[in-house]
Structure 1
Amino acid sequence: MFSLLRENIRIAFDAIKSQLLRTILTVLIIAIGITALVGILSAVSALENTISSDFSSMGANTFNIQRYEFNTQRRNDEKQKINPVISYRNVKAFEDDFNFPYTKTSISFVGTYGAEVKYENEKTDPEVQVLGVNENYITNSGLEIELGRDLNYFDVQNSNSVCVIGSDLRKALLKDVNPLNKTISVRGAKFKVIGVLKEKGSTFGNNQDLRVFMPLQKARTIFTNPNINYSLSVKSDKKDMMEGALDEAILLFRNIRGLNPVEDNNFGIERSDDLINRIGSITGVLETVAWIISIITIFGSTIALLNMMFVSVTERTREIGVRKALGAKRSTIAMQFFIETLIIGQLGGILGIILGISVGAGISAIANFQFVTPWLAMISAVIITFIVAVLSGSLPAIKASKLDPVESLRYE
C-alpha cells in the first residue's frame, strides 16, 4: 500500500516536471488567491491589534467624558452640532461632586502638541505633546511607570514643578544619564523628572512616548488659553458597577452643564470597550472584503487547475493505456492524478502563504502596525487549497480511471 502510494507520488512529480511551465502558471494562479487572502487578513489583523492596543490604553472599565462623541467629530454629511468646550469649572465641579463607590476620576487637557523640550545644551524638535493631568490620569489611561514614581495628590494641589516623561523623550534627551531628578525646560519653566513611562509605541503618527505629563494646576499657569478643552476619565475598580457609575456620571454632568430633561447631551461619552467593539466591526468588514476577493480569485484558480488536469489526462492517454495493460487498477490511475492535483494545489498554497505573510509584514512595517502571525489565515489557506485540489482533481481523475485500455493504446 505504502509502496504504491510512494510510486504514485514519484510519478506525479515526474509528470509535474514534464509540464513545468503549465504547472508554474497554475501554481501562480492559486498563489495569487491565497496571497490576497493571507496578505489582507494579515494587514487587517495587524491594524486591529495596533488600534485595539492604542485605544485600550484608556484602561479597562473606563469611560471618558469629552466634548464630542468619537463617531460624530468628523461627520460631513450633515451640519454638525457645536458643543461648548468642557471648561475647568465643569471638570472641577464633577471631580468634587462625583462620589460613586470604587471609582477614580482623572482630569486632563492638552497644553500643546508641539513643545520644544530642553535639557542642558540638548533640545528636541518642536513635536512633544504636553499634558496637564491630575494624580489619577496615568493609572486611568492604562499607562505604566518604568522608572521613578507617578504624580500624586500633593504634586497636583501644590503645583509642584515635577513631571513624568515618555520613553522616547528620555531617549532623545536623557539617554546617557539617569533621568530621575534631572531638570528639563518646557516653555521656559523648569521641571524635575520624577518618572518615566514604559514604551507604548505610536499609531497613525500619534507618538504616545513623546509626551510630558505635568501637574494640572502647574500646567494651567503655563498654558493660559481661555478656551482650553478638558477631558474627564472615570475608572471603575469593579466591572459590575460600571453601568451604575456611567449613569451617575451622565446625570451629574448634565446638571453641571445646565441641561433640562428634554435636551440632548452637549458632550460625548466614550467607553473603552465600545471603542474596541467599533474597531472590531470595521475590521470585520475588511476581513469580509478579503474573503470575497480571495474566493473570486480562488474560483478562477480552481477552473485553471481543472483545465490543466483535463489537458494532462488527454496528453497522457497512451501512458494510461500502458499502465492499465500492465495491470494497474482504476483506483490506482485515479489516485495518481488526484495526488498530482493535491501537490500542485499545496505548492500554490505554500507559495501564497509565504507571499501573503510578506505582503502583510511589509504593510505593517510601512504603516507602523504591530504585526501578528495570521494563524487563522494560514490554516484557512491550507484548507482552501485542499478543497480546490479535491474539486479540481476529482473529475480528471475519474475520467482517467474510466479510459478504455485498448482505445488508450491506440491513441495517436
Structure 2
Amino acid sequence: MFKLLRENIRIALGSIRTQLLRTILTVLIIAIGITALVCILTVVSALEYTISGKFASMGSNTFNITQYDFSEQIDAEADDKPHPIITYPQAKAFAAAYKYPDTRVSISFTATSIAEVKFESKKTDPEITVEGVDDNYLLNSGSEVTQGRNFTPFDVLNNAPVCIVGSDFEKDLLKDVNPIDKVISIRGAKFRVIGVLKEKGSTFGNSQDLRVLIPIQVARSLFTMPNINYDVSVMTDHKEFLENAVEQATITMRQVRKLSPVEANDFGISRSDDLINRILSITDYLGWAAWIISVITIFGSSIALMNIMLVSVTERTREIGVRKALGAKRGTIATQFFIETLVVGQLGGLLGTILGILLGFVLASALDFSFTIPWAAITWAFIITFIVAIVSGSYPAIKASKLDPIEALRYE
C-alpha cells in the first residue's frame, strides 16, 4: 500500500513538473489570498502586542478616577452639563478618605508639555513634558527607574528640589555623563537628578521618554495655571479585590464631590484592563477585513485550482485509460490527482505565508509596532489551503477515476 502511495506521489510530482508554468500561476493565485490574510493578521498581531506592552505595564489591578467616563458615550444631556474638573483639594480629600485595604493612591498632573530644560551650557528644545507626581506615581503607572531611586515621602512632603528624568536625556542633554546628582534647570528652578526612567518609547506619537518628574507641590508652585485637572490613580495589591476597590472608590469620590443619592456620577473610573480591551476590540475589525479579503481571493484561487486540474484530467485522458487498462483502480487514479491538487495548494500556502510574514514585518516596522510571529495566522493559512485543495481537487479526482478505460484509450 505504501509502495503504491509512493508511486502515486512520484507520478503526481512528475505531472506538476511537466505543467510548470500553469502550476506556478496557480500557486501564485493561491499565494495572493494567503498573503493578504497573513499580512493583515501579522500587522494586527503586532498592533495588539504593542498596545498590550504599552498599557499592560500599568497592571490589571489599577484604575484611574477621571473627569469623564470614557467607557460610555456621553449623551446630549451630559454635553449640556460638563463635569467639573478634579481639583487638588478634591484629589487630596479622596486620598485621605479612601481607606480600602492594600491599596495605594497616587495624585499627579501634567504641568506643561513645552518646557525647556538646561544643563550647564546645553539646553533642550521646548518639547519636554514636566509632571508633578507623588511617591506612589511610578508604582501605579508601571514605570521603573534604571538608575538612581524613586521619590520618597520625605521628598514629596518637604518639596525637595529633586527630579527623575526620562531615558532620552541620556542620549542628548546628559549624554556621556552620569546623570545621577547632576543639576538641571527648569524655568529657572534647579533640580538634582535622583533617577532615570526605563525607556518606554512612544504611545500614539507621544514620547514617554522626554519628560521630567518633580514633586507635586513643587510643580504646583512653579507652574501656576487655572483649572488644572488632577489625575488620581489607585492600585490594589490583590486583583481579586479590584471590583470592591472600585466600588469603594466610587462611594468615596461621590462623598468628596458632595453628590446627593439621586445625582449621577460627575466623574469616571477607568480600569487599565478595560482600556486595553477597548483598544484591542478595534483590531477585530481589521481581522474581519483580512478574512473578507482573503476569502474572496481564495475563492478565486479555488476556481483556478479546480480548473487546472480539470484541464489536466482532459489532457491526460489517454494516460488514465492506459493505467486503467493495466489494472489501476479508481481509488488509485483519484489519489494521484488529489495529491497533485494538495501539493499545489500547499505550495501556494507556503509561499503566501512567507510573503505575508515578510510584508507584515515591513509594515509593522514602518508603523513602529513590536513585531511578533502570528502563529495563529500561519496555522489558519495551512488549514485553509488544505481545505481549498480538498474542495478543488475532489471533483477532478472523481471525474478522472470514473473515466471509462475504453473511451479514454480512444481519446485524441
TM-score by length of 2: 0.94
Residues 1:207 and 1:75: Cα distance change in structure 2 (over 3 Å): farther
Query: CA offsets per residue over residues 58-110 of structure 1, 9 Å max, x none?
Result: 33311100112234689999947522221111111112222221110001101
Is residue 2:100 matched to residue 1:68? no
> What SS does structure 1 have at the residue aligned with 2:234?
strand
Whole-angstrom CA distance in 2 between matches of 1:337 and 1:401 = 9
State the partner residue of 1:283. Answer: 283
Is residue 2:407 matched to residue 1:386? no
State the partner residue of 2:102. Answer: 102
State the partner residue of 1:29. Answer: 29
State the partner residue of 1:348. Answer: 348
Offset of residue 56 of structure 1? 1.9
Q: How many residues align?
A: 412
Code of the residue aligned with 2:203 in structure 1: it is T
Give the 5 Å matches for 1:131-210: 131-210=131-210
* Pairwise CA RMSD: 2.1
Code of the residue aligned with 1:120 in structure 2: it is E
Give the 5 Å matches for 1:246-265: 246-265=246-265
Residues 1:52 and 1:76: Cα distance change in structure 2 (over 3 Å): farther
Offset of residue 125 of structure 1? 2.6
Offset of residue 180 of structure 1? 0.9
Residues 1:233 and 1:309: Cα distance change in structure 2 (over 3 Å): same
Q: Percent identity?
A: 64
Offset of residue 373 of structure 1? 0.7
Is contact 2:87-2:228 (8 Å) kept? yes
Q: Which runs of 5+ in 2 are unaligned?
A: none
Query: CA offsets per residue over residues 257-277 of structure 1, 9 Å max, x none?
Result: 222222221111101121122
Offset of residue 322 of structure 1? 2.5
Query: CA offsets per residue over residues 269-322 of structure 1, 9 Å max, x none?
Result: 101121122234322333233223322322222122111111111111122223
Give the 5 Å matches for 1:195-234: 195-234=195-234
Q: Which runs of 5+ in 1 are unaligned?
A: none
Is contact 1:132-1:218 (8 Å) kept? yes
Code of the residue aligned with 2:39 in structure 1: it is G
Whole-angstrom CA distance in 1 between matches of 2:161 and 2:386 = 66
Offset of residue 325 of structure 1? 2.9
Is contact 1:204-1:367 (8 Å) kept? no
> What SS does structure 1 have at the residue aligned with 2:255?
helix
**Further displaced range: 378-387 or 63-72:** 63-72
Code of the residue aligned with 1:146 in structure 2: it is T
Offset of residue 406 of structure 1? 2.1
Offset of residue 206 of structure 1? 2.0
State the partner residue of 2:339. Answer: 339
**Further displaced range: 78-87 or 254-263:** 78-87
State the partner residue of 2:114. Answer: 114
**Further displaced range: 400-409 or 4-13:** 4-13
TM-score by length of 1: 0.94
Is contact 1:60-1:142 (8 Å) kept? no
> What SS does structure 2 have at the residue aligned with 1:70?
coil
Is contact 2:71-2:270 (8 Å) kept? no
> What SS does structure 2 have at the residue aligned with 1:192?
strand
Whole-angstrom CA distance in 2 between matches of 1:250 and 1:231 = 15
